[in-house]
Structure formats: C-alpha cells, structure tokens
Amino acid sequence: MEEKLVGSTLEQFEAYVKDMLFLKKADANMYSPLVLAYIGDAVYELIIRTIIVNHGNCPVNRMHKESSSLVKASAQAEMVHLIMEELTERERAIYKRGRNAKSATAAKNATITDYRTATGFEALVGYLYLNGEKERLIELVGHALQKKGIFGESTSKFVSML
C-alpha cells in the first residue's frame, strides 16, 4: 500500500511539473542516443546525490568527492558491466546505440572505452527516465551499487566512505 502511495505521489508531482511548465509528453524513442545520454547523466547524478545525502549529514566537500567517484566515466562503465546480464534485449540495444554514438566531445579523465561505455549507460538511464520506467531504472542502479558493494541491506561500507 505504501509503495502505491509513493508512486502515485511521484506521478502527481511529475504531472504537476509538466502542467505548470507546459511540457509535452516525451517519446524516448524519438531522441538521439546522445540526447538520451545528456538527460541520463543528470538523472544518474541526481540518484547518486540523493543516496549520498540520505546517508548522512557531512561536509559537502566529502559528499562531492564521493558522488564524483560514482558518476565519473570509469565508475559508470563498471556499473553497466555489473548489470549487463540483467538487461533486457531492448535495454541492451539502447545501451549499444549510446555506446556507439559519435560524440563531438572527448573524454577528459577517462579512456575512450570507458567514456563510450559510460555514454551508453547514460543513454539507457535517459531512455528509462523519459519512458517513465523509473522503477526499472532504480532497480538497475540499485543492483549495480549492491554488486559494487557500495550499499544494500548493510550500508556500513557506504556510510564509512562519507
């Protein structure tokens, strides 16, 4: 019952924002992989920052360092490798489209392989977000973080990092 209430509240909030800002319904299939990665980058960072803030009040500099370590290209590349076997055929196709997209920007502090893999991950995140598949998005990110040993049933490792 509580999950349904939370879900409907989130849906109500999103509907309110779309209405107030005159936003049209987004069809994730109509966007290029790089546009999906653009929004996916922001959504993924918001998820990570939300988790970090939720796990304790500490100096913002420490929060920033921890979130940066989880959103950098090499960390995103690791995330997608951890969940690859869980992806559906459609999700893999979206990831591959993002990974193979030709970007005008270059990796700053990452290998080209990690950068392209991270772009594929971000495209998948963006697709799931725009397509309204937020539960699936959180499920995949949560599984990757658990497999990475960052958090799960026991958050002690994560909290000690902060």
Alpha carbon of residue 125 to chain centroid: 5
Burial of 53 (0-12, 13-18, 19+ CB in 10 A): middle
Residue 99 has pLDDT above 50, yes or no: yes
- Quote the radius of gyration of the chain (alpha carbons, Å): 16
Alpha carbon of residue 78 to chain centroid: 13
Looking at 19, 27, 41, 114, which residue is catalytic?
41
Residue-level pLDDT at 23: 72
pTM score above 0.85: no
Q: Which residues contact 100 (CB under 8 A, 6 or more apart)?
A: 33, 116, 120
Residue 114 appears among annotated catalytic residues: no
Range ranked top by mean pLDDT from 28-32, 113-117, 120-124, 141-145? 120-124
Q: What is the DSSP letter of 26?
A: P
Q: Which two tokens stand for residue 119?
A: 């772009």
Residue-level pLDDT at 1: 39
Q: How far apart are CA 92 and CA 120, in angstroms?
A: 9
Instruction: Dump pLDDT digits (tens) for 37-84.
Output: 999 999 999 999 998 888 778 888 888 888 888 999 999 999 999 999
